[in-house]
Amino acid sequence: MPLAPFGSVDPSALRWIRTRESPAAFSLRSETMEVATLAWERPGGSLATARTAETTWSLKRAGFLQPTVLVRAGGGPGTIAQLSAHLARHEITVGGGPSFRLRHTSHLVPSWRLTTAQGDEVLHIEPVPEHRRLQAGAVVVTSSAAGASTLLLVVLTWYFVVLSWFEDEAIEALAPFEGPDPPLPRGSSG
């Protein structure tokens, strides 16, 4: 089934649906129409390919302490968008154009908010877990302030949300290996 052009769908009905477990793949849908796909190349990797009716993008995380996500058109050498990750606030720049701020809105409800540099909300994403595994995500496009780059922002934001979720799952998987500290020898004080 061909992908629907983003301009032909209802942006208020966007949902990411997991279509494959490993390597992970997701489909962006609006009602019954598929708008984009996002698929990782290999399990545990950061290289992913996004496809839309108009184009193909490759996304890849680089760096460790201050990671950056680079988006390239059709896998080419030029970066068309970049997400710079910081502790609590992340910044997305699209080409030489505007910048956007991405932040985790709550630790109780795993939601993310993307705003313009002036603070106007552009989109809101709420991941949907099932048995603590990411299965879907609701996308609410709240403004047309992003213009033609709205679909790119939806894909890049979801890519980052998924990577963050996978990292949290990996850390949580290690939790059973943690145990109580060994008892201190007699006569010693902690």
What's the pLDDT tens digit per position in 7-29?
899 888 899 999 998 899 999 99
Report if pTM > 0.75.
yes
Least Cα distance to 125 among 98, 157, 159 occurs for 157
Percent of the chain at pLDDT exceeding 90: 52
Residue 155, pLDDT above cutoff 60: yes
Specify the amino acid at residue 128.
Answer: V
Tens-digit pLDDT profile for residues 61-74: 998 778 899 999 98
Cβ contacts of 145 within 8 Å, gap of 6 or more: 116, 120, 122
Annotate 30-41 with b (16+ C-beta within 10 A) or e (fewer): beebbbbbbebe
156 φ/ψ angles, rounded to the nearest 5 degrees: -65, -40
Between the alpha carbon of residue 128 and those of residues 73, 111, 112, 147, 180, the distances in Å are 28, 9, 12, 27, 32
- 109 is written with which tokens? 């409800």
CA-based radius of gyration for the chain: 19
Overall fold of domain 6-171: Porin (2.40.160)
Which has more pLDDT, 102 or 128?
Answer: 102
